[in-house]
Amino acid sequence: MTLWDKYPVIKEEMDAFEGTLRRFLSSKNELIGSAISTMVSAGGKRLRPALTIASAHFGEYNMDEIMRIASSIEILHMATLIHDDIIDEAKTRRSMETMHQKYGVNVAIFAGDYLFSTSFSILSVKEDVDTLVHIASIIKSVCEGEIEQYCSRFSKDMSVYKYLRRIRSKTALLFMLSCELGANISHCSRDVTNSLKRFGMFLGMAFQIKDDILDYIGDETKIGKPVGNDLKDGIYTLPLIYAMEKDNNGKLKDLLYNQPYEIEKIIELVIKYGGIKYAEDLMDKYSKKAKEELNKLPHNEFRDFLFELTDDLVNREN
Nearer to a copy of itself, 75 or 196 (CB): 75
Per DSSP, helices labelled H in 250-300 are 251-256, 263-272, 275-295
* 49 upstream amide cis, omega within 30 of 0: no
The least CB distance from residue 169 to a copy of itself, in Å, is 10
The least CB distance from residue 39 to a copy of itself, in Å, is 15
The least CB distance from residue 30 to a copy of itself, in Å, is 8
Report the C-alpha gap between 258 and 191 in whole angstroms. 52
The least CB distance from residue 265 to a copy of itself, in Å, is 27
Nearer to a copy of itself, 236 or 278 (CB): 236
Nearer to a copy of itself, 71 or 287 (CB): 71
Q: How many residues does the chain have?
A: 318
b/e for 80-114, b at 16 or more Cβ within 10 A? bbbbbbbebebeebeeeebbbbebeeebbeebbeb
Nearer to a copy of itself, 7 or 24 (CB): 24
Report the C-alpha gap between 271 and 277 in whole angstroms. 8
Nearer to a copy of itself, 15 or 89 (CB): 89
The least CB distance from residue 123 to a copy of itself, in Å, is 8
The least CB distance from residue 293 to a copy of itself, in Å, is 27
Sign of CA dihedral 131, 190, 201, 158: positive
Interface residues with a copy of itself (CB under 8 A)?
A: 27-29, 31-32, 79-80, 83, 86-87, 104-107, 109-114, 116-118, 120-121, 124-126, 129, 132-133, 136-137, 139-140, 143-144, 146-148, 150-151
Contact 197, 176 (CB under 8 A): yes
Sign of CA dihedral 60, 76, 84, 38: positive
Nearer to a copy of itself, 26 or 92 (CB): 26
